[in-house]
Structure 1
Amino acid sequence: MRISTNPDLQTSKGFSRIIAAGLFIIALSGCVKGRLYQRTVDWDHAGGNAGQTKYSELDEINTDNVKDLKVAWVYNSGNMAGNVQCNPLIVGGAMYVTTPAHEVIALDATNGKELWRFNPSREGESLGGINRGLAYWKSGGRGSILFTANNYLYQIDMYTGEPVESFGYNGRVDLNEDLVRPESEMAITSPGSPTVCGNLVITGALSWGAPSNVSAFDVKTGRRVWIFNTIPQPKEFGYDTWGNKDFWKKGAGVNSWSGITLDEENKMIFFCTGQPKDDFYRSDNKGAQLYGNCIVALDAETGQRKWHYQAIHHDLWDLDLPAAPILATINHKGKKLKAVIQLTKTGNTLLFDRITGEVLSKVEEVLVPASTLPGEYAYPTQPRVSWPEPFARQVVRGNELTNRTPEAHAYAQKVFNSADAGWFIPPNKKGILYYGIHGGAEWGGGSYDEKENVLYVNSNELAWYIRMKDINEMPVGEKASKLSPGKAVFLKMGCPSCHGANREGQGSIPNLTRVDQKYKQEDLMKIVKKGKNAMPAFPQIEEKDLLDLTNFLLNKENANAVVAKNKPEYRSLGYEKFLDPDGYPATAPPWGTLNALDLNSGKIKWKVPLGEYEELKKKGMATTGTENFGGSIVTKGGLVFIAATRDEKFRAFDKKTGKILWETKLPYGGYATPATYSVEGKQYVVIAATGGGKLGGKTGDAYVAFALPD
């Protein structure tokens, strides 16, 4: 958060100079009482500041008056495809947001009126993937917005919305250039917001089919200045932790997709990573597999590693570290210490000395079970955190199954009895039950109040049921149960993780059982190879596999075709939530929570359910909490603001007690992190409300801002 002033805005002479210089002016029709904005409190980074604390010093809206909060304005972008996860950027009275089509739009932050719109697509491109935020750079009289769309990093003039032609190729850089494979095989995207350090713009990367990285580019030219390979190459630190010595060029994953955190004083960046691909089985590949599931600290100017910590070794559970690290100053052994916080999907809070990487949390390596799948070498130990205390359940237990109805309990008990449940049990053919794929923490991360030394984090407590199958195994029984070549490719590529084992889809992710009614084979092949909307690209797929896959999706396969027996190759039957027959979680509530964690004591100060099922409340069930996606912000005014929930509500909690002080129904689900800012002394809170995403529901196009009545 930054206070901005501009004395040139106070005179007509200065006004003319600004127009002549081409600097951004709040639209004349949108001025407050006919004046240009002279003083603002900005939200000028994704996460509010470079340290990603999501904290604001604003207190005009506070615990006494938040009950009076009203809609100040609503902006509708016109793109109804959903799902926007963008944390808005507010600088000097202007707000910068994105749409599902990756357009960037500048708004008057006092009334939501559109000032300009930039569409990054060129020559009929369809830009897919997710954008979670933008970055801001200014030098002298020049200012620009940097953001990613699909495999490109863009820079546009923040006052006009025009591309900065000197940056890369007419305003954009291809993130896939000059990497370990040809550009056509890389499919790098970058959902997290870039970070600006001096004249460098730093961005993470995500790829389903190629090795990932973190890179810095010259903000003036677009030239790549340095690259950090998250799958180490020969002679790089960590290369010897991989049993497969060619994984650095043939493998995939170890993505950094949640954003980059910057320590401006020490010129250090911090980021976290996910697991290698495939998610649940990587045969003949022993070792801890750095930098999978790590928090990493680099020199921001050179990209050299300062330190790292691996939270999960050789991850076989899709427990990628989900959220950008948070910078903090904490009390440790009686002294103030500059620290960094990393949240995990297992409900843990990891604390580190920011400079040295010393682990401040209490962690011990414990023995875990070996894999029972041929060719898989699960790591023999995993870190267990005993302090701070976890903010989410970590093991599915028989005495914590649902009692919503006798039938629901009986079903949950049957599945529980048939599967394995415990601490880091590797995936197997029998099936495992565990928490974590969608939480504890998710990509929204936490919000941190340094004055109170309290971390606020929303958590999911939804269990998953993962079963493995050898895709090269000759099935027996009826023809309908046989594994065809196309179904084998469907499993091998991890398609069930989004579309389900039976292609039925989930949330707003489409059902694929009737694509033959919509697409021709050549169109479907193009979508698989190049991606579309949120669908990632798979350019590395072999032509035979592509033909088999599209035949399967179009229901054109020979009914008698089966996969020949080869070396065992296991894939999951799909990302299957542990739900009861009515579609509710099969464990006991709460299913989603908001937590206040005291970092002095390491204890949870309060925990409350986050979200509700109205139909269950009408039947007399207490508030259960729901699955939630999106983060919180915390303010000096004593409030924690968060949307995120399945019930499409936006809420303000008392940060001291966890009591709900205000709530409102959004037009669509708010699956993003809000922002707060002030213009001319008036505080606003804004949230992207577009629905869709992993929770599904209706999709829309709204940004909604709230303020106190005048």
Structure 2
Amino acid sequence: MRSLIHLLCVAIGLVIALLGVGLALGGADLAWLGGSWAYIPLGLLMAAVGLALMARKAFALPLSIVLSLIAVGWAFNEVGDVFWLVVPRVVVFLVLPIVVGVLSPWFGPAVRSGESAGRGVGVRRSWGLGIAALYAIIFAGVSLNMFRPHAEVTADPAQSPKVDTALGQQNGNDWPAWGRNLTGDRFAPYVQINADNVSGLKLAWTFHTGDLAIDGSEYQVTPLKVADTLYLCTPLNKVIALDPVSGHERWRFDPHMQVTRGNKGWKRCRGVSYADLTTMSLLAPDAKAFGPEEAASSPAEQPADPAAPVPAQAPVDETPAAPAPITAQTPCARRIVSTTNDARLFELDASTGALCEDFGDHGMVNLLEGLGPTAPGSYYLTSAPLVADGVIMVGGKINDNMTVGEPSGVIRGYDVRTGRLVWAWDASRGNRDSRPLPAGQIYAPETPNFWGTASYDPKLGLAFIPLGNQTPDFWSGNRHPYSDEYTDAVLALDLRTGQERWHFRTANQDMFDYDVTSQPILYDLPGAGGETTPVVVALTKRSQVFVLDRRTGKPVVKVTDRPVATDGMPGQRISPVQPYSDLSIGVAPLKESDMWGATIFDQLYCRVAFKKMRWEGEWTPLSDKQKTLIWPGYYGGSNWGGGAIDPQTGVLVVNDIRMAMWGQFIKREEAAKAGLVPSTEGEYSEQLGTPWGVERSMFVSPMGAPCFKPPFGSLTAIDLKTQKTLWQVPVGSIQDARIHGIFGDKGIIPHLYIPVGMPTMGGPLLTGGNLAFFHGSLDNYLRAFDLRTGREVWRERLPVGGQGTPMSYVENGKQYVLVVAGGATRTGTNANKGDYVLAYALPSTD
């Protein structure tokens, strides 16, 4: 037995010594780069513990205790009491006294047969096992704390805002628009399900759409509920109508989407829209369309001048035939409006699912018209169009980072009854003209596009549109002046004419795909004197929250231009300043001590990697010489899922992604030699027509863990009246996440519920019952949070993960919460995918 223990001491001691030497050598590398020196003594002490264990020296145990105390003191001195930053610094050193203490009874010379072990050996044995037990208890306490969420900001009851239940009561029992209403607040005023009884929520019904989220398809849809019917779309753009009480299918329509090079690996339908022609303010039947005689000159001949006055837009003499009057009995009096990934706009009778033959060409409008030869396969639509005041407004997504010359990002307005093109706004003409171009002419290519969801203020008649940047994303040397003028902007257009009212840039020049994609949120902000200011809240991938007066575009929350790094590659166009709002979420500049890992070893690796990267703060330009850290990452911040606001309290709730990335320019021939495969969304893009391709990825350790501190996704509540953060909590666990790194392409799934906070997709739903629902994390759960405290009060396991936004409605006196789950985002596999529509409700009491 003693020989076996001797061998065990040697083997374990050797491993500890080698790990200690590796830690010290890595620490020397870090110190050489100008980083912390702490890992050198920690590594040397660890190696000494290992050597002492190999020799079965009694001082191995007290040395391991001293090492653990030094590590704990260093950790708290460097990062304070931030749990997830302390853990990787100390956990290995907490384990060492346990191991050494268990083996310590066999230290020292062997006791020959017939001899007494003696009092000293007995004391040493008891002392060693006691130390091991004490450290085991400490380790167990740390481990147990990994299974509970650690809030970054804890709610203070004294800061709870006042509630005005008279607000937010629009739309009755329905959810008739993507954000529930055209203001995008995602607030359902229902109180039947509330923070006190949500624990009793049960699955009411399940529906399968029949389209699995595989081969590039992703379910990101938020359904509508209008009157007695639910409406949703699949990633293949099929539209399905369901009974809201039973989930039974009423009808479906298949537009037979064509697979193109653009949508082959990117099939999405985030929502459909609804139009009731019997109640909607329609364009006048005798309205004159803009025609060739009044059309603008080609964009190349008239570059945009945003300061120029808006000219009068005279109509032509010819008028279309007046359509027949609309009554409730008219076919297609109530319409579902949707788009396809192969660039078509269509309308269906909301009652039957039949195409509305009087719209466009037998129900369809070709959105490729006027976009030129590069549009097929590159231009496609994923988000629900804005429908209001007789107009359908659409934008489109284009393939990023593949090549120059991509089609225009033109935004167009169509007559909701006829499909007639009413106006067209593009950045090349800006505020000068919104008339459609004559047939055969092409809208200026490469202009910033709009692929998210817009909002609408009917009092002002303005649509608020989030814009992107000119592609390719990572090379700004080819940008047009008019693209720079509108890059990453919030744009306000008159919905009936397409004329620009104002625009506000959230970035002066974008080299990191920071396009604004979240639906702008409209809110009437109360003032100290009882007045209100109509504001638009623009959430950005940079996690800057811009609050603007929606009448003028002027900031209501202060915005400051700050200097940024400009040492880019020759030919890059770089702005020396960028705008920063006084309101932001989780975007403090990263520093070396923020680097993270599952253990101290990959945490050290990440610190070394961080020091070897270019990093002069946000907006550090890419280089071909070394990797550049990109923080915030280009997935967000706030992506298309956006946020929500409780109009009864003025509390804004935002889910944000916190994923640092890296990028580096690479010659295309070198990329080919390295076997890199170009794509629009992958880790290498060619950026044809520019000097460089770009290689990029997430900043992770060899263990597959992010190299920066948790959480990697959070939910934050902000009182907009005071701009104070009320609470901030991590969202999501590692339970269902697939971790790669050393685990290979297939990776591993931990199956452990450790709520560290994972990257989020989709958005939150808020209710009058003081609840925030969310299901867009990387684990398979629908969650409810107490809106007053941020505390998770209910969690339900889903069959697969989700990416969209929950919605809620009331039917037959019962409130439902509904989600669509097709699988978590970007898993890179067809596994763990589905086609579920799931409705939850409280059990009936009768």
| TM-score range normalised by the length of the shorter chain | 0.7 to 0.9
CA contact (8 A) 1:689 1:700 kept: yes
Aligned-partner residue type, residue 52 of structure 1: G
Q: 1:54 aligns with which of 177, 186, 192?
A: 186
Distance 2:553 2:260 in 1: 43
In the TM superposition, residue 499 of structure 1 has moved relative to its aligned partner by: 3.1
CA contact (8 A) 2:506 2:579 kept: yes
In the TM superposition, residue 283 of structure 1 has moved relative to its aligned partner by: 2.4
- Per the alignment, in what secondary structure is the counterpart of residue 590 of structure 1? coil
Q: 1:297 aligns with which of 486, 492, 497?
A: 492
Q: Report the equivalent of 1:703.
A: 837
Do the aligned partners of residues 165 and 646 (structure 1) sit closer, same or farther apart at CA in structure 2, a change above 3 Å counting?
same
CA contact (8 A) 2:541 2:637 kept: yes
Q: Are 1:168 and 2:360 an aligned pair?
A: yes
CA contact (8 A) 1:104 1:118 kept: yes
Q: Report the equivalent of 1:556.
A: none
Do the aligned partners of residues 469 and 3 (structure 1) sit closer, same or farther apart at CA in structure 2, a change above 3 Å counting?
closer
Q: Report the equivalent of 1:114.
A: 249
| Identity level (%) | 30
In the TM superposition, residue 622 of structure 1 has moved relative to its aligned partner by: 5.9
Do the aligned partners of residues 124 and 392 (structure 1) sit closer, same or farther apart at CA in structure 2, a change above 3 Å counting?
closer
Q: Are 1:465 and 2:587 an aligned pair?
A: no
In the TM superposition, residue 282 of structure 1 has moved relative to its aligned partner by: 3.1
CA contact (8 A) 1:207 1:253 kept: no
Distance 2:782 2:377 in 1: 39
Q: Report the equivalent of 2:565.
A: 369
Matched residues, number: 586
Aligned-partner residue type, residue 301 of structure 1: R
| Structural mapping, 1:427-446, within 5 Å | 427-429=622-624, 430-433=626-629, 434-446=631-643
Distance 1:282 1:589 in 2: 32
CA RMSD of aligned residues (A): 2.8
Do the aligned partners of residues 174 and 650 (structure 1) sit closer, same or farther apart at CA in structure 2, a change above 3 Å counting?
same
More strand by share: 1
Q: 1:154 aligns with which of 340, 346, 350?
A: 346
CA contact (8 A) 2:684 2:693 kept: no
In the TM superposition, residue 640 of structure 1 has moved relative to its aligned partner by: 0.4
Q: 2:695 aligns with which of 567, 573, 576?
A: 573
Q: 1:500 aligns with which of 658, 677, 683?
A: 683
Distance 1:213 1:68 in 2: 48
Distance 1:633 1:233 in 2: 35
Q: Report the equivalent of 1:383.
A: 579
| Structural mapping, 1:315-354, within 5 Å | 315-332=510-527, 334=529, 335-354=531-550
Distance 1:356 1:568 in 2: 37
CA contact (8 A) 1:232 1:290 kept: no
Distance 1:708 1:135 in 2: 28
Distance 2:836 2:607 in 1: 42
Aligned-partner residue type, residue 112 of structure 1: G
Deviates more, 1:438-447 or 1:281-290: 281-290
Q: Report the equivalent of 1:243.
A: none
> 1:448-497, CA deviations, whole angstroms, 9 ceiling, x for partnerless residues?
0112111000011110011111336xx5xxxx97379xx6xx65xxx1x5
Distance 1:658 1:402 in 2: 25
Higher relative contact order (CA 8 A, sep 6+): 1
Q: 2:395 aligns with which of 204, 207, 217?
A: 204
In the TM superposition, residue 618 of structure 1 has moved relative to its aligned partner by: 8.6
Q: Are 1:74 and 2:206 an aligned pair?
A: yes
Do the aligned partners of residues 645 and 294 (structure 1) sit closer, same or farther apart at CA in structure 2, a change above 3 Å counting?
same
Distance 2:786 2:575 in 1: 43
Q: 1:227 aligns with which of 424, 428, 436?
A: 424
Q: Report the equivalent of 2:272.
A: 134
Q: 2:222 aligns with which of 78, 84, 87?
A: 87
Mark the structure with the bigger radius of gyration: 2
In the TM superposition, residue 294 of structure 1 has moved relative to its aligned partner by: 0.1
Aligned-partner residue type, residue 167 of structure 1: F
Do the aligned partners of residues 432 and 160 (structure 1) sit closer, same or farther apart at CA in structure 2, a change above 3 Å counting?
same
In the TM superposition, residue 409 of structure 1 has moved relative to its aligned partner by: 0.9
Aligned-partner residue type, residue 121 of structure 1: H
Q: Are 1:276 and 2:470 an aligned pair?
A: yes
Q: Are 1:41 and 2:232 an aligned pair?
A: no
TM-score using structure 1 length? 0.78
Deviates more, 1:619-628 or 1:286-295: 619-628
In the TM superposition, residue 102 of structure 1 has moved relative to its aligned partner by: 1.1
In the TM superposition, residue 139 of structure 1 has moved relative to its aligned partner by: 2.1
Q: Report the equivalent of 1:397.
A: 591
CA contact (8 A) 2:236 2:268 kept: no
Distance 1:56 1:250 in 2: 41
In the TM superposition, residue 45 of structure 1 has moved relative to its aligned partner by: 0.5
- Per the alignment, in what secondary structure is the counterpart of residue 230 of structure 1? coil
Distance 1:398 1:459 in 2: 22
Aligned-partner residue type, residue 628 of structure 2: I
Aligned-partner residue type, residue 646 of structure 1: L
| Structural mapping, 1:476-495, within 5 Å | 482=673, 491=678, 495=679
In the TM superposition, residue 374 of structure 1 has moved relative to its aligned partner by: 1.6
In the TM superposition, residue 440 of structure 1 has moved relative to its aligned partner by: 1.3
CA contact (8 A) 2:736 2:778 kept: no
Do the aligned partners of residues 699 and 364 (structure 1) sit closer, same or farther apart at CA in structure 2, a change above 3 Å counting?
same
CA contact (8 A) 1:263 1:269 kept: yes
Aligned-partner residue type, residue 509 of structure 2: H
Q: Report the equivalent of 1:424.
A: 619
Aligned-partner residue type, residue 572 of structure 1: V
Distance 2:259 2:622 in 1: 43
> 1:369-422, CA deviations, whole angstroms, 9 ceiling, x for partnerless residues?
21421211111211122x22x212243221101042122112211221111221
Q: Report the equivalent of 1:550.
A: none
Q: Report the equivalent of 2:197.
A: 65
CA contact (8 A) 1:166 1:220 kept: yes
Q: Are 1:189 and 2:380 an aligned pair?
A: yes
Distance 1:113 1:58 in 2: 24
Q: Are 1:259 and 2:453 an aligned pair?
A: yes
Aligned-partner residue type, residue 382 of structure 2: P
Distance 1:233 1:265 in 2: 23
Distance 1:275 1:349 in 2: 18
Do the aligned partners of residues 608 and 196 (structure 1) sit closer, same or farther apart at CA in structure 2, a change above 3 Å counting?
same
- Per the alignment, in what secondary structure is the counterpart of residue 717 of structure 2? strand
CA contact (8 A) 2:536 2:550 kept: yes
Q: 1:660 aligns with which of 780, 792, 796?
A: 792
Aligned-partner residue type, residue 632 of structure 2: Y
CA contact (8 A) 1:256 1:274 kept: yes
> 1:244-265, CA deviations, whole angstroms, 9 ceiling, x for partnerless residues?
xxxx967425221111101122
In the TM superposition, residue 233 of structure 1 has moved relative to its aligned partner by: 7.0
- Per the alignment, in what secondary structure is the counterpart of residue 159 of structure 1? coil
> 1:30-71, CA deviations, whole angstroms, 9 ceiling, x for partnerless residues?
xxxxxxxxxx71000001001000001111000111000000
Q: Report the equivalent of 2:746.
A: none
Aligned-partner residue type, residue 368 of structure 2: N
TM-score using structure 2 length? 0.66
CA contact (8 A) 1:396 1:435 kept: no
Aligned-partner residue type, residue 427 of structure 1: L
Distance 1:402 1:60 in 2: 43
Aligned-partner residue type, residue 703 of structure 1: V
